[in-house]
Structure 1
Amino acid sequence: MRTPIVALDFPSQKEVEQFLAHFGEETLFVKVGMELFYREGTSIINYLKEQGHRIFLDLKLHDIPNTVKSAMRNLAILGVDMVNVHAAGGTNMMKAALEGLQEGTPEGKERPICIAVTQLTSTSEEVMQRELWIEKSLEETVLHYAKLAQDSGLDGVVCSTLEVPKIREACGEDFVTVTPGIRMADDNVDDQVRIATPARARELGSTYIVVGRSITKAGQPLEAYKKVTQQWEGTTV
């Protein structure tokens, strides 16, 4: 069964609990980002684990290799299922992240999936070149970062669904692609640039999709979740 990752982009645990109440006993794969983690700390992770949910801890680490290694060692102890770094931190940093995760993972437990952010889905080619001074094309940059992540031993990358086919060609079918910027056809684009529907993400070969406002801002979150899941599984259009 394909399960979308639900982005818990809420300011506090109280709002998370209110949102999850819509799902009853159903267990989810959820994403905890900076806003929520910096407010609640490890208590939100413990709460979600107690409820049986899988967790993508989305902190996008980017620092010197030793600092990232130490941070990842601590994150591994939390027992989350997925973590990430910025590929722009370079090969040594990504290798250090993996080493920290391996050292911190409790004996008998599986190491969290470790992925690297290529370019944020809110980043356009114009912004990348004009503001970040990256002269290569967006596609070339994403592919280069994906290869760097793979060569560093990471499990995959965060990327746009539109870039998945090229990454599959360059890095193989087993390389994980986590794709945010997912919207239903009638949703607002908001601050995303490189977006796709769940059905399109399935067609393009994404391993995981991350869905936020299409579910969290819906009047009936459970029904919205089911619709996203059906598209993602290919059981409806």
Structure 2
Amino acid sequence: MAEFVLVPGARLGAWAWADVVPQLRAAGHGAHPLTLSGLAEKRGVPAGQQTHVRDIIDEVERQDLRDVVLVGHSYSGIPVGQAAERIGDRLARVVFLDSSVPVDGEAFVSAWPDDGAAMAALFAANGGFWPVPPATHFAGHGLTDEQIARIVAGATPHPGATLTEPASLAGSLGELPATYVHCLLPGDELDDDVRELLTSERWRLVTMETGHWPMFSQPRELAGILLDAAERHPLIG
């Protein structure tokens, strides 16, 4: 039995996994959706990126989880990747769900134009947070109007410090048993960092014919991919 620790992307909370969790549990696995500090029901809790890394590790250790499949969506691939190498033999596999990946010494905003200067200005204008975007931001991702309304209603501003704080890795992510799930709408290409990691024998690429929020648009298909990832022996990749 695998223990899935499900970490949502920027602005989202554990609630984002509501349509995926029942399917994982029905298959006989544990499923632990996690809200990171400063978001959803934890809004107001100060948080930097390493706070989020610690949130993930604490969840694993608090529940004494073994055979852990860490799942990081979007932004959360960065803290999940760092946590994955720190939980040792508790890790079975890490799944990066259409996500960023951590690069030692670099922040989430490092990949943005002007090394994140515009993002920093946006955070400053919004009290240190990345604001929730309008509904139009989610167009073209295979979401219904109802699903978009659900995301916008549940989302909370994201702590900017988690996006500007650099990642810290002890080793290479390519050494971890990993699955990268690439969502093909609206046609974004894989980042160069991800392409390089996928050359590792321990990494596997899976694609989905949907947009960036598959836990809403295709929860059943996503659950199937996660279950398949859990069945793969970590030494085979």
> Does the TM-score normalized on the shorter chain lie above 0.5?
no
Structure number, greater radius of gyration: 1
Scaled by the length of structure 2, what TM-score is found? Answer: 0.35
